[in-house]
Amino acid sequence: MGLELYLDLLSQPCRSIYIFARSNNIPFEFKQVELFKESVLGKKPAAGSGAEQPHAGPSNSEGAGKVSLLKKVPALKDGDFTLAECTAILLYLSRKYNTPDHWYPSDIQKRAQVDEYLSWHHTNIRANAPKTMWIKVLIPLFTGQPLPSEKLQEVMEGLSASLKQFEERFLKDKAFIIGSEISLADLVAVVELMQPVGVGCDIFEDRPRLMEWRRRVEDAVGKELFFQAHEMIFNIKELSNIQIHPQLKEHLAPVLMKMLK
């Protein structure tokens, strides 16, 4: 039994794993778990570089629940071994497939810098960037009404503060977070920051240093792969055309609103 990755490319952590595996030619079976209907967000990612054609449908969602005790994506199945959580999966893949050292350096201080960023990321960039999508697309979809513009402004102010720290503390005048080569820290960061871009909040526009960093990351993993992995994000606004079952709306609307408090 080969490596199976259960992923939904609407998810930032899933995209980081997908890009990492593809850019390192890691052979895997892509088990696509879709949060929304298959037809909504355009084309599925093309297979290649060792990945088999994605298999969409309920079976993959059920499979992900069996693979991950947490019943969420990303999830990994490697023979009888299963694993959840983005960072754990990325580190497992980097070690098992002996990927180039720059991803997770053997140098103890550089590795510590990657660990430092990954720890900081969750309570800063990740605490704010995804909320732009919830505010502009997902919550209006499930509640049937837009949120006040003040809510988006509040989130963008928090994200701006995080981006300022990101540039001044982690990026500085370097090409990448830990120096001259891309690492897992850059990959985890960039997929998160593409979430606001997909809903029209271009956080790179007035930040030339951040924009140059993003372009270097795209070049490092390959522009075609980068944009293919983000195709669904760029088409996210098409979700507004979905007809949501009333019971699902009733269940999820208060949950989503609570997430933004």
Q: pLDDT by residue (tens digit) across 59-113?
A: 455 554 454 444 578 999 999 999 999 999 999 999 999 999 999 999 999 999 9
Domain with CATH 1.20.1050.10 in the chain: 104-260
DSSP state of 241: G
Cβ proximity of 43 and 222 under 8 Å: no
Mean per-residue pLDDT for 185-207? Answer: 94
Q: Which residues of the chain form CATH 3.40.30.10?
A: 3-44+57-99
Q: Could you report the per-residue pLDDT of 107-138, keeping only the tens digit for each?
A: 999 999 999 999 999 999 999 998 888 888 87
Cβ contact 63:5 at 8 Å: no
What is the architecture, at CATH level 2, of domain 104-260?
Up-down Bundle (1.20)
Coil vs helix vs strand at 173: coil
Query: Which CATH class for the 3-44+57-99 domain?
Result: alpha beta
Task: State the CB neighbour count (10 A cutoff) for residue 63.
Answer: 17
Compute the mean pLDDT over every residue in the chain, rounded to the nearest whole number: 83
The residue with greater pLDDT, 46 or 131, is: 131
Q: Which residue has the higher pLDDT, 104 or 150?
A: 104
- Indicate the helix (H) or strand (E) that contains 216: helix 208-221
145 φ, ψ (degrees, to nearest 5): -150, 145
User: CA 176, 193, 37, 49: dihedral to nearest 10 degrees?
Assistant: -10
